[in-house]
């Protein structure tokens, strides 16, 4: 089942703005600042392509599995494709891969796919820190009606994302993050592309 935001791109964008407020803009500006101008950027789980408008003279490529989001992005003139982000062997050549609010959707494959992405390009990940306070039964209702129910990834798997800020910093550091930064309930991590030894 898809929650309401995943059925309609405009409701999805409105929901993000209501949920994150001014920090949504701060997040995309910070990602853009790290990337800099003139780069090729692969935005995995791109949603409605919000990141694209913050990038400076970059080649933007978006991947998502939601056809309504893909159609919406294409109407905006964005270079997007309906592709599964787990198909890492198909990632195009790029300078940066961005996972913005998406790794918690793909538990338990989150670590595996992050490691695969770092083999291809520098990676920026921005993910929520665990702050759930609703009882489990209400959390399920919230998730299915207006939350993260994307119609693809299982609720039970998504609920395994239980990282406080410190635990998420520790997770990303163990995975090789060069840098982490707190962002009002979210954590940004920067990973450098791993050098492949061909000797």
CATH number, position 181: 3.40.50.150
Whether 74 has a pLDDT exceeding 60, the answer reads yes
Domain count, the chain: 1
Query: For residue 108, what are the domain limits?
Result: 4-191
> Which pLDDT band, with edges at 50, 70 and 90, does 116 fall under?
very high
> Which pLDDT band, with edges at 50, 70 and 90, does 198 fall under?
low
Range 4-23 average pLDDT: 90
Instruction: Tell me the pLDDT tens digit for each residue of 132-189.
Output: 677 777 888 878 888 887 888 888 888 888 899 999 999 999 999 999 999 888 999 9
Q: What are the Cα distances from residue 130, in Å, to 124, 126, 163, 169, 184?
A: 19, 13, 5, 12, 12
Whether 13 has a pLDDT exceeding 60, the answer reads yes
Confirm whether 52 is domain-assigned.
yes
Confirm whether 197 is domain-assigned.
no
Lowest mean per-residue pLDDT among 44-58, 61-75, 129-143: 129-143
Lowest mean per-residue pLDDT among 14-18, 111-115, 122-126: 14-18
Written as six digits, the tokens of 106 are 């793909």
> Which pLDDT band, with edges at 50, 70 and 90, does 196 fall under?
low
Confirm whether 178 is domain-assigned.
yes
Q: Would you say 151 and 90 are in contact if contact means Cβ atoms under 8 Å apart?
A: no
From the DSSP assignment, how many helices (H) and strands (E) are in the chain? 7, 7
Confirm whether 61 is domain-assigned.
yes
Q: What is the pTM of this model?
A: 0.92
Q: Which residues does residue 99 pair with via DSSP β-bridges, in sequence order?
A: 44, 125
């Amino acid at each position: 089942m898809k929650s309401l935001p995943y059925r309609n791109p405009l409701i999805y964008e409105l929901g993000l703005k209501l949920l994150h407020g001014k920090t949504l803009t701060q997040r995309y500006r910070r990602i853009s600042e790290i990337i800099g101008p003139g780069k090729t950027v692969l935005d995995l789980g791109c949603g409605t392509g919000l990141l694209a408008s913050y990038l400076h003279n970059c080649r933007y490529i978006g991947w998502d599995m939601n056809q309504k989001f893909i159609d919406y992005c294409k109407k905006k003139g964005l270079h997007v494709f309906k592709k599964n982000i787990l198909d890492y062997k198909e990632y195009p050549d790029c300078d940066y891969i961005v996972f913005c609010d998406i790794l918690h959707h793909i538990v338990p494959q989150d670590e595996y796919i992050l490691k695969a992405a770092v083999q291809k390009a520098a990676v920026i990940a921005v993910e929520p820190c665990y702050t759930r306070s609703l009882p489990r039964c209400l959390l399920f209702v919230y998730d299915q009606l207006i939350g993260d129910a994307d119609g693809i990834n299982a609720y039970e798997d998504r609920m395994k994302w239980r990282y406080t800020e410190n635990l998420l910093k520790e997770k990303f550091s163990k995975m090789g993050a060069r840098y982490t930064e707190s962002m009002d309930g979210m954590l940004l991590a920067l990973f450098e592309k791993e050098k492949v030894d061909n000797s």
